[in-house]
Amino acid sequence: MNIKRINRISEEVKRKISELLTTGLKDPRINSMTSVTKVDITRDLGYANVYISVLGDEKAKEDTLKGLRNAKGFIRKEIADEIDLRYIPDLIFHLDESIEQGIYMSKLIEKVAEEDARKKGKTDG
């Protein structure tokens, strides 16, 4: 299948799931600070790996994943209503912690820069 078409479908699925996260899903387990970071659809359109980012503690992340996995059928139905495809991919939800890792790395860099500045200040004086 054409890569451009798969990418377009991936973006449409991402947009629809993001929309459902803000308006369509009423499950209290799903954290309100949840966002879809990426959707990878297989070449045969059989599966869609949906990567989500959840702002919160580990319990909030796990509860959100459980809620989304439980609502998978509803989400697929909504995608089918919006996107004209012969087969709707099976959704597989994954937790994307790249944002948290980026924040952690940023803090480490700031800490090292501060220590470096203090060391230079001591040797200059």
pLDDT one-digit tens code per residue, 68-125? 999 999 999 999 999 888 889 999 999 988 777 888 899 999 999 999 888 888 766 5
**Looking at domain 3-96, which of 2.160.20.10, 3.30.300.20, 3.60.15.10, 3.90.1150.10 is its CATH number?**
3.30.300.20
pTM of the model: 0.78
The residues spanned by each domain of the chain are 3-96
Residue 66: pLDDT band by 50, 70, 90 thresholds?
A: very high
- For residues 39 and 100, give the distance between their C-alpha atoms in angstroms, rounded to a whole number: 19
In whole angstroms, how far apart are CA 98 and each of 49, 55, 89? Answer: 16, 12, 24
Percent of the chain at pLDDT > 70 equals 97
| pLDDT number for residue 59 | 93
Q: Is 74 exposed, middle or buried (0-12, 13-18, 19+ CB in 10 A)?
A: middle
